Amino acid sequence: MSFDEILREACNLVPGSRVAVLMNMDGLVVARHERQPAGVDLEAVLVEMVGALATSGQVAREVEGARFTDAVFDLGVGTLVVRMLPEDHFVAFWLGPETASGRARWALRVLQVDLNKELAA
């Protein structure tokens, strides 16, 4: 399954999802699926979030047995759900303001296996 197919499946699993993006920690978009317009410059938001994600990972490494796996940012105009992946990548969902983030977190966790396989290929 390609990255595009995985992101499309992720959006199909989450009613209210608008965009799914696979990005590396250098801020480069690897793949993107847009179900509806985000209404924000999502890539710019994600590039700004890279520093926060990197810092969160560093903090988790300082705590014995901890690891940083995901984060949810409620921004009022929408919600950003992020799941960290190997190889310095992450996948993010942009959800409409009326959408609950729990199902998005579940979908990203379920599809992480497929994303990991594609990253390793």
Cα atoms in the Cβ-side hemisphere of radius 13 Å centred on 117: 8
Q: What is the pLDDT of residue 56?
A: 92
Please list, residue by residue across 50-84, b when 16 or more beta carbons sit within 10 angstroms of its beta carbon and e when fewer do.
beebeebbeeeeeeeeeebbbbeeeeeebbbbbbb
- Partners of residue 84 on adjacent β-strands: 90
What type of residue sits at position 117? K
Are 46 and 21 contacting, i.e. CB atoms less than 8 angstroms apart? yes
Name the one residue in this structure whose structure tokens are 């940083």.
68
DSSP state of 16: T
Pairing state between β 17-24 and 89-95: antiparallel
Q: What is the pLDDT of residue 31?
A: 96
CATH homologous superfamily of 3-120: Dynein light chain 2a, cytoplasmic (3.30.450.30)
Q: What is the pLDDT of residue 17?
A: 93
Q: Where are the domains of the chain?
A: 3-120
Q: What is the pLDDT of residue 9?
A: 92
The one-digit pLDDT tens for each residue of the chain (121 residues) are 899 999 999 999 999 899 999 999 999 999 999 998 888 899 999 999 999 999 999 999 999 889 999 999 999 899 999 999 988 999 999 999 888 899 999 999 999 999 999 999 8
- E strands present in the chain: 17-24, 29-34, 70-74, 79-85, 89-95
What's the pTM value of the predicted model, to 2 decimals? 0.90
> Whole-angstrom Cα distance, residue 76 to residue 23?
23
Q: What is the pLDDT of residue 65?
A: 87
